[in-house]
């Protein structure tokens, strides 16, 4: 049997790079994408790994990457939308430009890439789309108003797409990591707007942020191994899992507190309302 192929976005660092290597080690063909090939590191040296540029904010870049993937491996069995960017600031501190930029990467970007790949999966009658979201798409966090709203949008998009794609044989899931400070994600967080406003506002934002950060540390955010997230992505690609999949002690705790583990049971109950009989 020919190996299956996965296309991942955001493979220059962190979870994306770990997930690419995890699939490769399991014998998959891997399309590892990133905005700049200057960041490919050792990925291109691995067997069955094809590194190609992809900017989720650029439709032409997406089409070129998908076409190159098909030319190289013949199919895309799994799409992992991992590319994303964080942002911290009070809503009052934030500009329209920053909000739109955050949505362009975290929401519109994953929608663009998914829309490009879905016709390929639909024609084959099978496939899997995995959207890497965040604990911030499960629980609203102070000083991350815009980021949380984008990740909530990504979670809602995932669930709606799940219904659209289920009758077509395409599985759709989200993986929602908690805090993993042992990745480069934090260096990719835009927090320059936390200095906007008067001193009272700036100090208030700082106070809220420090409180949440200390709580994340207590829940293991400093020591959590990001390989857990890569392993969960692979599990979602290869086994039956729920639509929504939290990863990390903090994310699992929050999901438990709000009753989210029962979400899959709820979805199964409303299926006859949302989908016609097969």
Backbone dihedral region of 197: left (phi > 0), alpha (psi from -120 to 50 degrees) or beta?
A: left
Q: Give strand pairing partners of 40.
A: none
| Tokens matching residue 276 | 């016609």
- Cα–Cα dist 87/81, whole Å: 18
Nearest partner of 124 among 62, 63, 75, 70, judged by Cα: 75
Nearest partner of 92 among 204, 187, 186, judged by Cα: 204
- Cα–Cα dist 89/138, whole Å: 18
- Cα–Cα dist 152/102, whole Å: 13
Residues acting as catalytic residues: 147
Residue 30: phi and psi, rounded to 5, are -125, 125
- Cα–Cα dist 145/23, whole Å: 33
């Amino acid at each position: 049997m020919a190996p299956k192929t996965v296309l991942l976005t955001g493979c220059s660092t962190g979870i994306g790079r770990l997930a690419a290597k995890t699939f490769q080690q399991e014998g998959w063909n891997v399309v590892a994408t990133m905005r700049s090939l200057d960041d490919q590191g050792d990925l291109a040296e691995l067997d069955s790994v094809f590194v190609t540029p992809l900017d989720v904010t650029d439709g032409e870049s997406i089409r070129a990457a998908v076409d190159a993937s098909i030319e190289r491996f013949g199919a895309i069995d799994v799409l992992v939308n991992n590319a994303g960017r964080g942002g911290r600031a009070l809503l009052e501190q934030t500009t329209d430009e920053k909000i739109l930029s955050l949505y362009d990467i975290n929401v519109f970007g994953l929608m663009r890439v998914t829309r490009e790949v879905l016709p390929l999966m639909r024609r084959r009658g099978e496939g899997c789309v995995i959207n890497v979201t965040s604990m911030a798409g499960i629980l609203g966090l102070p000083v991350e108003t815009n980021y949380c709203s984008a990740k909530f949008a990504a979670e809602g998009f995932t669930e709606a797409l799940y219904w659209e794609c289920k009758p077509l044989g395409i599985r759709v899931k989200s993986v929602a990591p908690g805090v993993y400070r042992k990745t480069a994600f934090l260096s990719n967080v835009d927090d320059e707007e936390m200095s906007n406003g008067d001193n009272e506002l700036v100090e208030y934002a700082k106070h809220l942020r420090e409180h949440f950060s200390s709580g994340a540390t207590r829940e293991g955010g400093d020591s959590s191994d990001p390989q857990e997230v890569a392993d969960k992505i692979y599990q979602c690609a290869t086994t039956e899992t729920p639509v929504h999949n939290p990863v990390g002690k903090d994310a699992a705790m929050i999901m438990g507190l709000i009753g989210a583990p029962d979400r899959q049971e709820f979805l199964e109950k409303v299926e006859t309302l949302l989908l016609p009989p097969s």
